Amino acid sequence: MTALVGDIGGTNARFALWRGQQIESVRVLPTVDYPRPEDAIRAYLQGVGLAVDALQAVCLACAGPVSGDEFAFTNNHWRLSRKAFCQGLGLSNLLLINDFTAMALGMTRLREGELIEVCPGQSETGAARLVIGPGTGLGVATLLPLKDGGWRALPGEGGHVCLPIGSAREAALWTRLHDKLGHVNAEAILSGGGLLELYRTSCALDNEAVKLTSPAEVTAAALNGDAYAAAVLEQFCVWLGRIAGDNVLTTGARGGVYIAGGIIPRFVEFFRRSGFSQSFRDKGNMSRYFDNIPVWVVTAKYPGLEGAGVALQQLLEGRHSGD
């Protein structure tokens, strides 16, 4: 079987061929360059020298809740009708899944050297695992082990839960964010754009001049010894710990936590030294609940594509992978 798998986020669409239960011919295309996902797929196929009619199936992992015929991508301009998509490309098999369903299933395909330990621990047998990752947005999913040795991914929109407040400074930052944004969700801070928003809000709170103009500049300044930028990045890590800990308590994810997405791997050593671990377990009388829960940063290049392939394979084999 030759299938196409895609992992489509707010900024980039990653495509690959799925053959022999492996991905190959990976290409990354900016979503802004194409009016529709169909156009990007045709460009990808042309680039790898494959005709559209050579495909037996397509699985696309998409940012946002997936249901019904019409799908609007959360963080880019694309829209998709399942019916029109299949007719336009001559397909009979199209699987749409949430992007963090794919990311979660991608954790089952990790290879040696693709995890960096942040918090030591031991995965509890049979327990759920949490997958969370700041990128263009904040993705959250739960991975459940099945009795037959397989896995089921539970999609959700955990990036849109309310941003928690755990200190007086966080309350002051939240107040300014609320004045500007109204509802303050976790993604408002725990994302690429959110890091810049956190920097600007911090500057306004502290009467500091705004000198940095992109998330990359904030990160680079922090890593190069800028004390103020480092404090902002530290707050980012602390807030990620609070959200991850809340999700562990909600889902019972004592099997471990995977920190995925494109942001944290850029400053892993800073992250490991940050207040993430303390805020992760700072839950009052439930703090001991976290004593043996491992946390890892995922450094694999294309876990979303791998997970889309797993989802497609499970569908073809009649096993449930999640929505």
137 is in an annotated binding site: no
Q: How far apart are CA 287 and CA 281, in angstroms?
A: 5
Q: How far apart are CA 132 and CA 144, in angstroms?
A: 14
User: Locate tokens 């909600």: which residue?
Assistant: 250
Q: Are 259 and 297 in contact (CB under 8 A)?
A: yes
Instruction: Report helix, strand or coil for 98.
Output: strand
Half-sphere exposure of 240 (CA within 13 A, CB side): 36
108 is in an annotated binding site: no
Q: Greatest CA separation found in the chain?
A: 60
Instruction: Report helix, strand or coil for 87.
Output: helix
11 is in an annotated binding site: yes
241 is in an annotated binding site: no
Q: How far apart are CA 92 and CA 94, in angstroms?
A: 7
Q: How far apart are CA 252 and CA 268, in angstroms?
A: 26
6 is in an annotated binding site: yes
What residues contact 130, with CB distance under 8 A and at least 6 apart?
140, 141, 142, 143, 244, 247, 248, 251, 253, 256, 257, 258
7 is in an annotated binding site: yes
Q: Residues forming the annotated binding site? A: 6-11
Binding residue positions for ATP: 6-11
